Structure 1
Amino acid sequence: MPEPTPPLALTMGDPAGIGPEITADAWRAMRAGATAFAVIGDAALIGRHGVNVREIGSIGEAAGVFADAVPVLPVTLAAPVHPGQPDSRNADAITTSIARAVELARHEHAAGVVTNPISKIVLKKAGFAYPGHTEYLAALCNVPGREVMMLACPELRVVPVTIHVSLRRALDDLTTEGIIAATRTTHAALMRDFGIKHPRIAMAGLNPHAGESGTMGTEEQTIIIPAIEALRAHGMDVSGPWPPDTMFTPPARARYDVAMCMYHDQALIPLKTIDMTQGVNTTLGLPIIRTSPDHGTAFDIAGHGTADPSSLVAALRMAMQMAEHRNRS
């Protein structure tokens, strides 16, 4: 019989962003349910938003506290927090929160890691050496280069093969080997963490009309189709290359479980257009589960009480569902 699933570890994100208030609202929405989480951050900061908070000594105490208060594993901030005014002096606390959450998940004390939004610019001013959350998590898990970003909402899952690079560089970086590696990681995760026994994978083309047999570009013929053929040879259900301008309609989406996209915006524009509110960013290829809301720090509205917690709630629920699937496998 599977062991009970432990709580999730929720990072603080940038304390000057909307993380504290959506954390408080997420707890309000989830306190009566089965998904418990502990925040790794500053208890007083969360308490500003009208919720009870309780500092705990270990994440194992979170489930017993969760119905009555937000459980917090404390992290000390270096500078006072003013909503909407990020301060790089708090960069160490932000990265410490992430590192502690990963450590808890790697030792199976936490079911997974859910990350509140960070500001790459704020961290870079303090010497942060990674392009973003995803790459930092991979480094903490000792699997740099294996990370794959998947965005998901109830209507669609997408994976960009190339991620946080310019469009010009993405065209140079796109390779058959890269497509194969990202797709194999995605296929394995859909089976293990999402309970899909036979994943159906749609491969996007790069060019208009998926190249129109080479008349609008040859990358489909030289890069993408060889990847599809290699993946099919390994028994995977991979279709395509699909014309990118038609593959995200409702009838098309019904024919696949995930769309493999060739660059960042090809994946994220349809996902965020269809359902940004319920969008969740999931990192595949890690030894731990990690999800996050599909939005940023929103410094412009921080502290106004108008931030929507829906994406964070969706990320917490998805992480717990993934953990339960993994626990059963």
Structure 2
Amino acid sequence: MGIFQKGKEYLQQRFLDGSKHIELRKLLWVSFTLTSVVATLLMGISFYYRFAAQSAQTTWEGNDTRIEDAAEQVTAHFRNMIKVSDTLYYRVIKGTDLQQDTISDDFRLIYEMNKDNVESIALFSIDGNLICATPNSHLRPNFSLQKEAWYGSALDTEENIRFGAPQVSRVFRAEGDGYTRVIPMSRMVQLTMGDQTKRGVLLINLRYDVLQDMLENVMVGEESYVYLAGENGNLLYHPMQDQIAAGTMKEETLPLLMSSLEGDVQAKPYTFLHKTIGYTGWHMVGVSKGDTGIKAQRYGKYLAGSFPQTGWTGQP
């Protein structure tokens, strides 16, 4: 009996030892599996954020290039319009005695050559009389030259061209008596009238929709857009300008620009790109909001400046 009892105890001990080995192997397998899963998840998360950061950097660098290209395009557009003004002044107006000759045909020809970019052309004497205009010469009722900002701006700088803020045209009656947005480009000119030389103002209203087309869809990325601000911080173009004018929204980045923020925008996830438009002093501002802006902010260029908060001013 003693032998059988010892044998039984031996078998039981072997069984217990085997069970312990099996449990240990299971424990090791579970631990290894969990470790592998956690490591895989951590690597996946790491790769995701690296990819997201790299993608944000690539997108932002691409936006930087796009904004620079857009700024150059707008500058080139204004440079071409300056050439149109120079042609009218130096080749037409300066060489004509307005008491004896007409310049209507020359104005009409130059307008036809540039009508894709030009809304209207007009020449006024200093006292407000309309000398020549194309394609429309019917002034709006109660029009006052002296009340127009572009008129005063032209008189401030002799023969220098000034670009006014985009506005609703108030000079000529449009077809159907509607209103169109234009960019007034004006300069003071010298008019020859017999043996006298008098001052006048040459106005070229540029088509606003041409500028609008240049600035739409410049930037890529969620909640990214471009707007134009003038030297004094007034909004000249904004993709949501009608809502801003109606007071239903505002450009929230203007206070940030106003505070001259140069690097830390984590409190409000806005990132800025800035280019200057030649001949105007205008600022082209690219904005990214939300997560894209947060991910890209260390790659972005922050715009510092003082811009008072204003809305769109081009209402009739």
Per the TM superposition, whether the score is higher than 0.5 is: no
Q: TM-score, normalised by structure 1?
A: 0.27
Q: TM-score, normalised by structure 2?
A: 0.27
Task: Choose between structure 1 and 2: higher strand proportion.
Answer: 2
The answer to which structure, 1 or 2, has the higher relative contact order (CA under 8 A, 6+ apart) is 1
